Amino acid sequence: MSAPAELRLPRYRRDPEGTHPPLDYAGYRSTALRHPQEPLIVLPHLLTEVTGPALGPGRIGEFDNDLTQGHEGEPQGQRIIVTGRLLDGDGRPVRDSLVEIWQANAGGRYRHTGDRWPSPIDPHFDGAGRTLTDSEGRYTFTTIKPGAYPWKNHDNAWRPAHIHFSVFGSAFTQRLVTQMYFPEDPLFSQDPIFNSIPDEKARQRMIARFDLDRTEAEWALAFQFDIVVRGREASVFEDEEDEH
């Protein structure tokens, strides 16, 4: 093993308190038996944590970012274009990086055997897509605006319309799964998953912006949604190098 005597690795800022939801959240009942009860132990950012998989090249098919394609007919619902950038907390684009989405159809039903909500399955909509960010961290999906759906979490519980997003960033520390919500959804106030984020400003970062400039006339509405993964610590590494 040809390791240097002392490792100098990039460091990633830990996110401020309130950014992420607690693992135990009584309002979201499914956390009850699934949240760890022991305190988490701080994991230093060592080699395994500051590196991560480069996924994507060779993994993306031609229409994987267009969820309205690939079937004999057109899916039901309102076509939308979702664009955005994948950035780190220093504003740097995360390039050539895999972005995955999954969602319900226009009637709020997932194409999944476990989803028994009696809204029709759309034979022309699977609800899954993936793409790679470009050299400026941009991604684009064409899809259908998902519907709200009921779930049994509490009395008369409905999930606000949302699209699940999964991104990797370039390090294990940056891995993120989140949900994109739509502006001014009347269901926010009663949704424990949305409201699990303690910080109000952080919660707002999950809401997409209607983007008139990107709409396509007589064809599709557009929403803009940037995703930010944590940033690097101001570089102690380079300062130290300079002194040598």
Partner 1 sequence: MPETTPSQTVGPYLSIGLPWPDGPEVVPADEPAAIRIHGRVLDGAGDPVPDAMIETWQADADGRFDHPDDPRGAVASGFRGFGRCPTDPDGNYEIRTIKPGLVPGPAGSTQAPHIDVSVLARGLLHRVVTRIYFEDDDTSQDPVLASVPESRRSTLIATKTDEGYRFDVRLQGAGETVFFDV
Among 82, 106, 193, 220, binds partner 1 (CB under 8 A): 193
Pairing of strands 157-159, 149-151: antiparallel
Residue 155: CB minimum distance to partner 1, A: 19
Residue 27: CB minimum distance to partner 1, A: 10
Q: Would you state the structure tokens that stand for residue 65, as one six-digit string?
A: 């970012």
Please identify, using beta-carbon distances, which residue of 4 and 186 lies nearer to partner 1. Answer: 4
Residue 184: CB minimum distance to partner 1, A: 19
Residues 99-138: x/- map of binding to partner 1 (CB under 8 A)?
-xxxx------xxx-xx----------xxxxx--------
Separation between Cα atoms, residue 190 and residue 104, nearest integer Å: 19
Distances (CA, A) of 103 to 47, 123, 145, 149, 159: 34, 15, 9, 11, 12
Containing 238, the helix (H) or strand (E) segment is: helix 236-243
Site for partner 1 in 19-48 (CB under 8 A): 19-23, 25, 28, 30-38, 40-48
Question: Should residue 142 be labelled a site residue for partner 1 when binding is judged by CB under 8 A?
Answer: no
Site for partner 1 in 212-231 (CB under 8 A): 226-231
Q: Which of 159, 120, 162 is nearest to 143 (CA)?
A: 162
Q: What are the residue numbers of the active site?
A: 110, 149, 159, 162, 164
Separation between Cα atoms, residue 111 and residue 125, nearest integer Å: 8
